[in-house]
Structure 1
């Protein structure tokens, strides 16, 4: 295997690029901002992103966060969290908060996590996969007529049925009111519920309320 060596300026250029990607995401439409556009974008977006960050988790109400959602976490519609609307100048007052998919042609009205077994999403009771169902509200199956909407018989490793779980989108104040950690303010796009490395673990593995880094005594 050939080893590639980069000088300090090249390493900085790579770091700067990934910093740009984590901040801008897909907002540049696939064409890199000029330095002036990038600075203008940061001046506009970063203050509201820090102020109005939304935390996204999947769990049983009143229980642990079984899954904390990050930028790459897939939605029922198969698109990733970062491909949904996650930035707001003013957070809507209605609840539940809905984060529609921004991918052209997708009819997903709100981000919704689907549990996975390894790399694969769970099946519906009708034996079909999430992608065999409509991404629109109701999630009717496109392959059979007996299915009244996607519902999985899967039991989460927290011990509760998948149907007892919900995808929760909440503000910083709402999350604090639940007694859950919020982490540090960060400028990056679509961070969802991630606040540290342990946030990448499922809740039952982290042995903590929701990836706070403060382990529960058992």
Structure 2
């Protein structure tokens, strides 16, 4: 096994280069800035970037951000988000906000996310792949003449088809007005909608909307309401209305059954469901004995 050794200070130099690349991106044209040029660049760009950051996401019709776009996220034109215009001295007033591609001779007028089927591009209804369509407005097919524009029925993990989604470019204020998280202000280029490590995951797999990380203890310990997920309501126990109705019909037996349904803090899943099963058998046995009582008196 070959072992790599670095000279003293080399690791720090690598970290500085990575920091430089995250801030500058491809604005240096492939030639590294001098220290003076780098400082001038930061003085000019960083205030604009911190104040006028654009958040880009691929949103389902239900309002879920199924994909939060980052620097390396590919566009329909096959170029990455960092190769598009992402820094604006003044945010345009027109909506939707256009984020055009900066690659020479590219016809892409604004970043448009298109999902992948594993590692392969998805197909249009004309049976041709997405990369066989032009990035020009309308996305016409370059292989056939019958296609009026790219239209894919490929289903996202959220259950909605691709054509029902839209690429959304919005400001920090617009996201806050919708109650969507914005994360922390960072000086890096083309961050798009990324606000944390887990925001790289698809929307239905994310632990939270922002991708910042696990929810707070206050959120986790909040009481379960009728709007929460079915599983949370099941472990919370029966509602008061159900309990009151069963109490009227079954009397004390239903009260005992209701108490037995409450999960104990030290119980695991198997013990909890086993105790519920045994309580139900006991209740059914008591009901049978109660039904035999009047018959035996008549005899």
* Structure 1 spans left out of the alignment, 5+ residues: none
User: Structure 1 residues 84 and 214, CA, compared in 2 at 3 Å: closer, same or farther?
Assistant: same
**Contact 1:151 1:163 survives alignment (8 Å):** yes
Structure 1: distance between partners of 2:91 and 2:23: 19
Give, in angstroms, the shift of residue 115 of structure 1.
Answer: 1.0
Match of 1:47 in 2: 47
Match of 2:107 in 1: 107
Structure 2: distance between partners of 1:190 and 1:73: 10
Structure 2: distance between partners of 1:53 and 1:69: 13
For residues 87-102 of structure 1, the aligned pairs below 5 Å read 87-102=87-102
**Contact 1:203 1:210 survives alignment (8 Å):** no
Match of 2:18 in 1: 18
TM-score (norm 1): 0.96
Q: Which has the higher helix share?
A: 2
Structure 1: distance between partners of 2:44 and 2:89: 10
User: Structure 1 residues 206 and 170, CA, compared in 2 at 3 Å: closer, same or farther?
Assistant: same
Structure 2: distance between partners of 1:212 and 1:11: 28
For residues 35-184 of structure 1, the aligned pairs below 5 Å read 35-184=35-184
Q: CA RMSD in A?
A: 1.4
User: Structure 1 residues 165 and 62, CA, compared in 2 at 3 Å: closer, same or farther?
Assistant: same
* Structure 2 spans left out of the alignment, 5+ residues: 221-227, 230-299
Paired positions, count: 218
Structure 1: distance between partners of 2:180 and 2:213: 11
Give 4+ residue runs of structure 1 displaced > 6 Å after superposition. Answer: none
**Contact 1:23 1:189 survives alignment (8 Å):** yes
What SS is found at the alignment partner of 2:141? coil
TM-score (norm 2): 0.70
**Contact 2:207 2:213 survives alignment (8 Å):** no
1:31 matches 2:26: no
What SS is found at the alignment partner of 1:137? coil
Q: Which has the higher contact order (CA 8 A, sep 6+)?
A: 1
